[in-house]
């Protein structure tokens, strides 16, 4: 899809980080932009930034974990601008860290709900109308380098692997249906965003019961890790530029840090082919544990 000007984009997780940069970039490209996010205050600020680029914007407070909420987003989009051409299912949360046997059902429900079902809901709510409209279009789902690699137990990584495979499936389904909609999976490495403190938007009913000391310890570590991401990560605007380029070239895998992940992909596949155990290194976990060790 070469022409973005005058067309319609929807971005979830648009109040912060990569989603905000995508919305701003689409606005700069002359698109009409729908911004969706669960954090209403930050969403209004992001919508203000996009409209400063001269774009027509619509901000829709949305919980991507809820099918009903994403259906309402689709209805509001179509009502205001029409059927979108670009849909970025980007909202995501980092979840909790530690061995899998220490995870709770609340941890799983929260992270699966946003990271995996959020993408499923975006596909269900928008793609049928996009196919029916018969125009060109592109769906970009945000996974991660952790959606390609192996490593320590992580609900986050489980959901990101699922998003990678889900998007591969979507790509095949769209082609089998003879549709002019395409799809890409965005696999960022280390980006300067607020992903590590995603707990700020965790619904109360999915919080774990922790005492004050535990909450304060986790808060402190996450803030320190966030500082590391903000200082060391790639600026989100660079990620947005890569996404626009990939849509233009119809490129499926969008890797922001190929040097961080390609050896991992190769080593993991070699282990599968050779019947070896999973290779030990996980770039994301290594970065995050380093951040926690250095700062915590
Ligand atoms: P961020 O925390 O800056 O932005 C994520 C946005 O998603 C926030 O505005 C948050 O309010 C929103 N969100 C959270 N729960 C939501 C829900 N239920 N409904 C709607 N919106 C919700 O983080 P970032 O990094 O910009 O995250 C964007 C995507 O990039 C995520 O899918 C994340 O997993 C992915 N990613 C980020 C990396 C990084 O290094 N920052 C690396 C790899 C992937």
CA of 271 to the centre of ligand 1 (A): 31
* Statement: residue 295 has pLDDT above 50: no
* Statement: residue 292 has pLDDT above 70: no
* Statement: residue 219 has pLDDT above 50: yes
pTM, whole model, 2 decimals? 0.96
Name the residue among 162, 41, 35 with its Cα closest to residue 88.
35
- Give the ligand 1 atom nearest the CA of 145: 43
- 58-104 pLDDT, tens digit each: 999 999 999 999 999 999 999 999 999 999 999 999 998 889 999 99
pLDDT at 285: 53
pLDDT at 241: 98
A 10 A CB-CB count for 138 gives 24
Mean pLDDT calculated for residue range 20-38 = 98
* Ligand 1 binding pocket, CB closer than 6 Å: 12-13, 15-19, 37-39, 42, 62-65, 90-93, 114, 142, 144, 188, 190-191, 193-195, 198, 201, 229, 233
Mean pLDDT calculated for residue range 236-259 = 97
User: Which region, left, alpha or beta, applies to residue 36 given φ > 0 means left and ψ of -120 to 50 means alpha?
Assistant: beta
Give the residue, 218 or 81, on which the prediction is more confident. 81
253 is catalytic: no
Name the residue among 190, 248, 149 with its Cα closest to residue 18.
190
* Statement: residue 293 has pLDDT above 80: no
């Amino acid at each position: 899809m070469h022409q973005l000007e005058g067309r319609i984009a929807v971005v979830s997780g648009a109040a912060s980080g990569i989603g905000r940069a995508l919305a701003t970039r689409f606005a700069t490209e002359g698109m009409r932009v729908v911004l969706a996010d669960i954090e209403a205050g930050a969403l209004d600020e992001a919508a203000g930034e996009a409209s400063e680029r001269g774009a027509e914007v619509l901000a829709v407070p949305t919980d991507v974990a809820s099918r009903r909420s994403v259906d309402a987003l689709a209805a509001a989009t179509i009502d205001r601008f029409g059927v979108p051409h670009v849909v970025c299912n980007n909202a995501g949360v980092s979840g909790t860290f530690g061995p899998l046997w220490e995870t709770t059902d609340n941890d799983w429900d929260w992270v699966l709900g946003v990271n995996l079902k959020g993408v499923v809901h975006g596909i269900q709510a928008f793609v049928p109308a996009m196919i029916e409209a018969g125009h060109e279009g592109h769906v970009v789902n945000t996974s991660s380098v952790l959606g390609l690699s192996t490593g320590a137990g992580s609900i986050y990584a489980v959901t990101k692997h699922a998003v990678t495979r889900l998007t591969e499936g979507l790509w095949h389904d769209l082609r089998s249906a003879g549709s002019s909609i395409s799809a890409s999976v965005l696999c960022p490495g280390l980006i300067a965003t607020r992903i590590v403190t995603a707990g700020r938007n965790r619904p109360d009913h999915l919080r774990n019961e922790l005492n004050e000391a535990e909450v304060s310890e986790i808060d402190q570590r996450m803030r320190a890790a966030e500082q590391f991401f903000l200082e060391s990560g790639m600026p989100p605007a660079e990620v947005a530029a890569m996404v626009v380029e990939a849509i233009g070239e119809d490129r499926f895998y969008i890797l922001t840090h190929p040097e961080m992940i390609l050896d991992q992909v190769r080593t993991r596949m070699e282990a599968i082919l050779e019947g070896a155990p999973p290779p030990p290194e996980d770039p994301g976990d290594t970065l995050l544990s380093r951040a926690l060790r250095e700062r915590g």
